Structure 1
Amino acid sequence: MASTTRSRSNELNLKWLVLAISAISSAGVTVSEEEGTTVQNQPAAVEWDSNGYLSFCLCMGRFGNQAAHFLGGLAMAKRINRTLILPPWNDGHLVQFEQWFKVEAVSQYHRVITASDFMEKLAPANWPPEKRVGMCFSFPGGSSPPCVMDDSDHHFWYWRAQGIKFVRTEQYYLSYNAEIADTKREWDERFPADKYPVLALRGAPAGFPMTKKNNALHEHLVWSDAIASERDRLIAEHLPAGGKFVGIHIRNAQDWVNTCNMVDTARGSSLMASPQCVGYEAGTGTVTKDMCLPSRHSIAQHTAETVSKIGANAVYVATADDPMLDDLRSALGSSVKLVALKPRPQLDLAILAQADHFIGNCVSSFSAFVRQERDANGKSSSFFNHGRSHLSPIVHEDL
């Protein structure tokens, strides 16, 4: 028993060391061993913001869910007028925000600082270990569980890898609605900046799915030079030069089948990211199982019709599951090139955003991420088994 405990302890210590090295990089230009890319950190001079800071864990789900929560948290930081500490992404290991996205693009919307800069240059003097308080959302009346900041692997490693351990926790019952002016007053009264300089929240201060208004914030998520360069290389190497291509996203693994079975219990209103196509207001649309899990035939036919109408000569298939190449080949014929690379998800997203037209899954937050980037750049999108005209850009009132 003792040897098992020591083995587990050694395993945890090793994992912490790997994550810490990844998360706390030195100032200047650093090299990521995994990505093989350079990352330019912020300038050395960083001043303390007396309005306070907002920090939270991106610990819910895969990248699409994390991105939706990030944009909600960004809107919240602006509403309560605190500098946002850019949260690392959770990709099985921590990935510094700036490895995937440009900090300067986000800072055009609101004040931000990278997590590494905050911990290295500001935290030692202004947020020392003995003053670090964690915070959890709690329903009134004692119906919520105790506030524990590191009760799961994701939460534990998220904070520990950044060198953060909380001396105590507090609970709150406050709104995450960044569209209401009173939200700032409520947060200021509960957590004044002079007593709580950092709001370190267990989870993102945002709902899921993303609110309609926050869709527009995606214009501030701009791929880093490293991601953009790799995206362009893959497009040049695998897609025909000078031609058009259609990008499609397919979800068909068993976990997704299980998710789509929830449509029957969701009473037809919405599920996950489905408001992006059925509407954000109650009663405006109904999500169906066919939208969530389109048949192989409908995917192939919709793709073939779109290829024909826009004159594309290639289809890029993004999926973590079955790319359906035989079905697509049968519908498209031999003159259309099919490409399914299965790179890391961020590259799939970046490539799909460059397509001449994109067809996604109505319920998927991964598809939603692509659609939001394309909306920001005036590019057309559609969804399998959804009735929109799929050759016109989707128009949102908030854009």
Structure 2
Amino acid sequence: MITGKIILKSATKLSLDKRFTEIAKQAPVVTPPRIQQQANVIIPYSRQELFGNKRPNVVNIAQRLKKRSINYRLGLSSNTNVNRLYTPPNKPRVFQRLSYGNRRRFDTNGNNLGANRFLFGGQSGMGVRLRGQGRIRGTRTFRPRTRGYLNNNTISRYNNGNSIRGNKNNRGRRNTNNNNFNRSNRGRFGKNSNRGRGRNNNNNNNNKNFTKETLDTELDKYMAQTKLEKDNWIYYLLRQDWDYDNESRIKNSIGLYYEVDSNGYVMFCPCMGRFGNQAEQFLGVISFTRTLNRTLILPHWIEYPSRSRTSTQIPFDRYFQVEPLRDYLKVILMNDFMIHLADKVWPKGKRYVFCYDTQVNDNNDKIGCRAKDGNPFGPFWSHFNIDFDGDVFFQPLFFDIITSNSWNSKYSSTEYPVLAFSGPPGTNQHSIPIAKYFIYSNYIQEQAENFLNKHQISPETLLAIHLRNGMDFERACTYANEKSNFFASAQCLGYNLEKGIKLTNDICYPSEDNILKQTEKMIQKSKLTVLYIAADGNHMFDKFQKNLMKKYNIKIIKYNRPSNQSEGEAAHIDLYILSIAKNAIVNCPSTFSAFAKRQRDRLEKSTDFWGIDNDKLINEQNIEL
């Protein structure tokens, strides 16, 4: 349940319906704590559709809110929509926090007080605070009162020599302000005493025949006098378009249960390498999980901050949307699973980890999977307070399967509801098209679009290049040979080397001279006016400026990471721009480049590789799952 407050301030003439329409149209981007505030940005509709943003989630939420029946908004009846998730009994809906309470109030004779029963809410729940009205829903003991300088119509505690201690909830002893809109005067000499708990209550209208329609009208009329603060929880909830899966977050916050998948779950640690390698592992495990008809528990991404002795875990939905993946298989965020389902589905004492065979560790004589030995294995599982109660060796089974018979017969969901793997399967040719379901979150898209807008750059004028020239990759390329694939080189050599291209050092780790020559050739051919450089090592910025900027009158830029942004997050800004640029040149064996290339295939954009003639390459977007 959300425990935040709604504080109503200022005034406006808008109705309740118009207000939420304006929220949908004008709500600013609100980011969660620890993330830099982002300015509003308009992503062109052409690219919105390409990246799955046909309509922002905030619009969908506001539209659904407007369509709620009056009964639902007032909390007087239940929603009978069978397509909703299971709703626990007596759980308040999040949108009812904007409606009057659902508990009736009666006078001493047992008569229903009608609409006035809603003015002070029910007997339980935190409720929300309306300025000067107390809480609409909530315990009466928490009912706030304005005093003096907090009064809507007074500046200080003293007005014309009389002590003013509030108007809409007045407790002042000599409240002489006749202009006050008093809902409850408790003062001894209050002149405008309406219904309330204080003395001098002369309001005999109990509104016993108040209808739902008139009550809704009164609500609209009152809300027209107020304005929601942009930093309150409802604004935050309606505008959560960054890295969160909006639908699951909203369902969670209104108390809806997650339904248990009787077919079981698959959990894994993406503990091999940085993002490019982790993305490769995702493709393999998605294919495996779908074949088993289980639900994939989406783990956190693992990042390795500079000068840090341990790894950090980043929620999956900070960088990518969850809903597109649900079009292909059943998924749940790992944090949601551990909070809402783990104790029921995967209780402590029955948590087993799966590995192919016993693992060897010179520093540990224990025989088993050793799932938590070292970094990032230990920090990853410990982040979710997971300790394993036993090891399961699944040899001679393999991940690359066509049917689920062998796995499901040996490891049934009743005995093993969660298959938790210490390491995931790798990708193969058949799982490559799954990459199209990885759609960047609005949080990442907006940062990248802000950067492009700041430099007044259109992707249609952009040549983006990726330089995989770190020292680690230079050493790795010494192990490459011409007779086999290396890392992600299948994207340019073919999975069976059928393209007839040999992996040379000029392809794996091209020289600076070759990089400059191929970039210049592409600029001459494409007539593009902006060069964007993404690199994990030397950006060669000065050399590009010296050799190309004045000669071809082009702008040369790179993304400069803010001090409060992680290196891993900045890398996704590079990937997004590499994906949408008009042309791109990337590294053949690099898994980081492979992710950008697959994004470009989905967008039907051609991609070049360092040291390879583009005529020998084909896009992979037409391969069917």
Q: Report the TM range for the smaller structure's normalisation.
A: 0.7 to 0.9
Matched, 1:114 2:319: no
Matched, 1:357 2:583: yes
Structure 1 residue aligned with 2:313: 94
Aligned-residue CA RMSD (Å): 2.5
- When normalised by structure 1's length, the TM-score is 0.85
Pick from 154, 159, 163 the counterpart of residue 381 of structure 2: 159
Partner-residue secondary structure (3-state), 2:600: helix
1:241 to 1:71, Cα distance in 2 relative to 1, 3 A: closer
1:38 to 1:52, Cα distance in 2 relative to 1, 3 A: closer
**Residues 272-322 of structure 1: CA distance to partner in whole angstroms, max 9, x if unpaired?**
110100000155442111100111121112111212222210010001211
Pick from 552, 557, 560 the counterpart of residue 339 of structure 1: 557
Matched, 1:398 2:615: no
Partner-residue secondary structure (3-state), 2:576: helix
Equivalent residues of 2:460, 2:582 under 8 A apart? no
Pick from 236, 255, 269 the counterpart of residue 484 of structure 2: 269
Equivalent residues of 2:531, 2:555 under 8 A apart? yes
Structure 2 residue aligned with 1:16: none
Partner-residue secondary structure (3-state), 1:31: coil
Equivalent residues of 1:58, 1:203 under 8 A apart? yes
- Measured in 2, the distance between the counterparts of 1:234 and 1:191 equals 49
Correspondence list, 1:222-241, <5 A: 222-241=439-458
Matched, 1:297 2:519: no
Pick from 169, 177, 194 the counterpart of residue 400 of structure 2: 177
- Measured in 1, the distance between the counterparts of 2:278 and 2:297 equals 15
**Residues 137-184 of structure 1: CA distance to partner in whole angstroms, max 9, x if unpaired?**
1289xxx96311101121111111112111111111111114x22xx1
Rg bigger for which structure? 2
CA displacement at 1:253 relative to structure 2: 2.1
Tell me the amino acid that sits aligned with residue 389 of structure 1: D
Between 357-366 and 251-260, the greater mean CA deviation after superposition = 251-260
- Measured in 2, the distance between the counterparts of 1:32 and 1:394 equals 40
Structure 2 residue aligned with 1:370: 596
Correspondence list, 1:209-224, <5 A: 210-224=427-441
- Measured in 2, the distance between the counterparts of 1:219 and 1:332 equals 34
1:39 to 1:238, Cα distance in 2 relative to 1, 3 A: same
Structure 2 residue aligned with 1:59: 271
1:163 to 1:269, Cα distance in 2 relative to 1, 3 A: same
Equivalent residues of 2:358, 2:367 under 8 A apart? no
Structure 1 residue aligned with 2:348: 129
- Measured in 1, the distance between the counterparts of 2:343 and 2:450 equals 41
- Measured in 2, the distance between the counterparts of 1:125 and 1:132 equals 12
- Measured in 1, the distance between the counterparts of 2:589 and 2:560 equals 21
Matched, 1:325 2:541: yes
Q: Which sections of structure 1, spanning at least 5 residues, go unmatched?
A: 1-25
Pick from 198, 203, 222 the counterpart of residue 423 of structure 2: 203
Tell me the amino acid that sits aligned with residue 406 of structure 2: E
More strand by share: 1
Structure 2 residue aligned with 1:22: none
Partner-residue secondary structure (3-state), 1:129: coil
Partner-residue secondary structure (3-state), 2:594: helix
Structure 2 residue aligned with 1:148: 370
Correspondence list, 1:39-50, <5 A: 39-40=244-245, 42=248, 43-44=251-252, 45-50=257-262
More helix by share: 1
Structure 1 residue aligned with 2:147: none
Count of paired positions: 362
CA displacement at 1:395 relative to structure 2: 4.4
CA displacement at 1:216 relative to structure 2: 0.8
1:119 to 1:312, Cα distance in 2 relative to 1, 3 A: same
Q: Which sections of structure 2, spanning at least 5 residues, go unmatched?
A: 5-29, 38-241, 305-311, 360-365, 562-569
**Residues 235-285 of structure 1: CA distance to partner in whole angstroms, max 9, x if unpaired?**
11135358611000001222111011112xx45321111010000015544
- Measured in 1, the distance between the counterparts of 2:470 and 2:243 equals 35
Structure possessing the higher relative contact order (Cα contacts under 8 Å, 6 or more residues apart): 1
Matched, 1:278 2:493: yes
- Measured in 1, the distance between the counterparts of 2:517 and 2:406 equals 52
Partner-residue secondary structure (3-state), 1:309: helix
Equivalent residues of 2:459, 2:581 under 8 A apart? no
